[in-house]
Amino acid sequence: MPTDEQVAAAIIQMRPYLRTVFVMAHVLRRSRQEIAAALGISERRVDRRMIRALSAYRERLVSQGIE
């Protein structure tokens, strides 16, 4: 299980446009529709960014030896 510091570091190191979607979805608990409207992008683009953000998050944690 990752520590709070490891989670924060993984999020901070994301590209800003990925981090924004990740934080809005997982921290602020916004829906795809809300995120799309707030950012002025399509829901499909929200989905693609979320996939990339989750991948970056996982890669960062795995690189620290966390699975």
CATH of residue 19? 1.10.10.10
Count structural domains, the chain: 1
Which tokens is 40 given? Answer: 């002025």
Compute the distance between CA of residue 6 and CA of residue 30 in angstroms, rounded to an integer. 23
Q: What is the pLDDT of residue 66?
A: 87
Residue span of the structural domain in which 48 resides:
4-63
Q: What is the pLDDT of residue 47?
A: 98
Q: What is the pLDDT of residue 18?
A: 98
**Total residues belonging to the chain:** 67
3-state secondary structure of 46: helix
Each residue's pLDDT tens digit in the chain (67 positions)? 889 999 999 999 999 999 999 999 999 999 999 999 999 999 999 999 999 999 999 999 999 888 7
pTM above 0.75, yes or no: yes
* DSSP secondary structure, 13-48, as one string: TS-HHHHHHHHHHHTS---HHHHHHHHT--HHHHHH
